Amino acid sequence: MEIREFSEIPPDLLQQIGRLRVQAWETETVRAAEMISWVDRFDHAARHWVVFAGTLPVAAARLSIHQALADVPDAESYAGVFPQTPTPPIASFNRLVVHPSARGAGLSKKLDMIRLQTAEQAGCRSAILSTASGPARVRQLTRLGFELIGFGPRFQTPPLCYLPAPAVLLCRLPHCAVEIPAFAGNR
């Protein structure tokens, strides 16, 4: 498998990622199947990492950097949760998906670590994330240095709006413990 980074994502690949997002979320909510593809306006400005099995994308994740909490993707899911606004620049981790056939191989952990390192190198002071994926995902993130701040209002857009209220996590940067182990084909 090969991980590739994109600062501008080609339109054809974005369509494939949009489809992959739907397929990945179908295991969490059957309502995801009502969607053909899932892309949004942040896709054009974000940095993307895509894991390929041959030519096929099997996992993807996105990072966008913001000066204000109100500007991050899924901003509604953070409303009223942080006792103090995260220090900007704020790195928003979102749209992590791993195809069911590629799960359990450490891809999500790898994509989280790459994003943490990228946020740190970009001078971000906070990394934030809201997730309705459940306690296993929260545990995975706290092991990486995120802190569970609380639970936010439910997401407003499909497919996430069909899931329970999200956990909101924060990692204060710089966070020196991020080291990315070698990965076949990484570049």
Question: Hunting for tokens 């913001």 — which residue is that?
Answer: 66
Q: Which of 114, 95, 179, 112 is nearest to 146 (CA)?
A: 112
What does the angle CA 44 – CA 48 – CA 54 come to, to the nearest 5 degrees? 120
Which CB sits closer to ligand COA, 50 or 107?
107
The least distance separating ligand COA from the CB of residue 30, rounded to whole angstroms, comes to 13
Which CB sits closer to ligand COA, 9 or 97?
97
The least distance separating ligand COA from the CB of residue 18, rounded to whole angstroms, comes to 14
Which CB sits closer to ligand COA, 8 or 180?
180
The least distance separating ligand COA from the CB of residue 68, rounded to whole angstroms, comes to 22
End-to-end CA distance of the chain: 11
Which CB sits closer to ligand COA, 96 or 173?
96
Query: Are 82 and 171 contacting, i.e. CB atoms less than 8 angstroms apart?
Result: no
The least distance separating ligand COA from the CB of residue 85, rounded to whole angstroms, comes to 21
Which CB sits closer to ligand COA, 69 or 94?
94
| CB burial of residue 35 (10 Å; 0-12, 13-18, 19+) | middle
Provide the binding-site residues for ligand COA, judged by CB under 6 A. Answer: 24-25, 27-28, 96-98, 103-109, 131, 133-134, 136-137, 140
The least distance separating ligand COA from the CB of residue 76, rounded to whole angstroms, comes to 16
How many of the other CB atoms lie within 10 Å of CB of 80? 9
Query: Are 127 and 119 contacting, i.e. CB atoms less than 8 angstroms apart?
Result: yes
